[in-house]
A and B are shown apart, each in its own frame.
Chain A
């Protein structure tokens, strides 16, 4: 069975500072990992994904994520946070059931960037 954990419910960071939102996963086989962002009263928006290849994945809005197989982690990062990055962030892992493209989501981390 696959699962994903986001150990922090809330992350606060000052504008201009680097940010990290943590995610760890558990899968059998190769992990397919995703990050999504949710703004108030909106649906989730895709940020980036790791399927294979380089461990550092670059995505939308200047975000990147580092895949670490030995630590089973896929932390989301950004070198310099913006106030507009304040949102709810979800890590997800793909369900490997054949014929489907289902995702298991973490419980989310609320990022607040302080001006």
Chain B
């Protein structure tokens, strides 16, 4: 049981380059999330998808776009990378039916992204 799988694990970009971070979950979860983790700031929500076919902005969406490709996959795209987007990016998933909306989130192991 793989859980949440993120690719790639590491990436170095130059300013202005574009890139898509991939995420897939095999737990049949409805909801998926993208976070960034920066030192001293905890995790901040970038975008989320409450269910297949929907996406919404989180706390720090600027400079990012997302696609909920199907129930399993949720990708994060940086159209024009900036040094401020150097971070560790985590994807997560959870059940989120109305009656079960307190289920924990399950996290991937992250993508470490450096932008020069």
A residues whose Cβ falls under 8 Å from a Cβ of B: 9, 32, 34, 36, 41-46, 49, 51, 90, 94, 99-108
Q: Across the A-B interface, how many residue pairs have beta carbons closer than 8 Å?
A: 64
Whether B45 and A43, one on each chain, are in contact in the complex, defined by CB atoms closer than 8 angstroms, is no
- Cα–Cα, bound, A106→B31 (Å): 21
The answer to whether B42 touches A102, judged by C-beta atoms less than 8 angstroms apart, is: no
Contacts of A101 in B (CB 8 A): 31, 50, 94-96, 101-103, 105
Given A43-B90, A49-B104, A100-B110 contact (CB < 8 Å)? no
Q: How far apart sit A45 and B105, CA to CA, in the bound complex (Å)?
A: 8
Residue of A45, A99, A105 near B43 (CB, 8 A) is: A105
What is the bound-complex CA distance between A9 and B39, given in angstroms? 11
Q: Output the nearest chain A residue to B106 by Cβ-Cβ distance.
A: A46
Pair B31/A100 contact, Cβ less than 8 Å: yes
* CA of A106 to CA of B41, assembled, Å: 8
